[in-house]
Amino acid sequence: MLHYVQDSGPDPDTSKCTLPELANCTPPTPTPPGPPGECTPNECKQAGDCNSYWICSDGSWEQRECSSNLFWNPSVPNGFGGSCDYFGNLNQAQQNIYINNPECIPPCEWWQIEGEKCTGKFHFREPFKADFPLDAKARESTLSCPTGGPGLEPLIWNQVTLTCDHKYDVAGC
């Protein structure tokens, strides 16, 4: 899976994805322990990253995650400590925290669906951009490998190397 290159910025013209080792990715930090002490029913607290939170359920803390493309907003005045929300509804300070946290930017992804293996058809999802927060489906594209020319075999998608390749270089094809 490719990862967003943080220093490439949120501008769609310069943002890039690359292999984790080239994107200066660091291993994810372990999940922090839950908030200390007892809790009030339905009380929520941020769990340390952009879309995780703790919720009090039956007297103990449970970690949960916001749905795709939603972020934890600790500033929602709901009396429970926050809520999942759209990026554009976060205050500027919270947006900046999330923009500068590489753990908060979903990676770009390349994949094939069932029935496309050993073909040139593949799919790509661009990383989330703070200034253009489309949902995941709107950031997806269906792409095709080059078909070759006279006397050349068309290239097919190689999910291991995440690029188009010769059929004989793709395992199982």
Q: pLDDT tens for residues 3-38?
A: 555 555 454 445 566 666 666 555 554 545 556 567
Kindly report, residue by residue over 134-147, the tens digit of the pLDDT: 565 667 889 999 88
Mean pLDDT of 153-157: 91
CA angle 46/105/20 to nearest 5° reads 125
Structure tokens at 93: 């300070």
**The pLDDT value given to residue 50:** 82
Q: Which of 44-53, 62-71, 130-139, 162-171 holds the top average pLDDT?
A: 162-171
Confidence of residue 92 (pLDDT cuts 50, 70, 90): confident
Instruction: Write the CA distances from 145 to 4, 37, 80, 117, 128, integer angstroms.
Output: 22, 55, 50, 13, 24
Structure tokens at 125: 């999802």
Query: For a pLDDT cut of 70, what percent of the chain falls above it?
Result: 62
**Considering the chain, what is the average pLDDT of its residues?**
75
Mean pLDDT of 145-155: 85
Query: Is pLDDT above 70 for 116?
Result: yes
SS percent in the chain: helix, strand, coil, step 5: 15, 25, 60
pTM score above 0.75: no
Q: Could you tell me whether strands 44-46 and 163-165 are parallel, antiparallel, or unpaired per DSSP bridges?
A: unpaired
Higher pLDDT, 108 or 60: 60
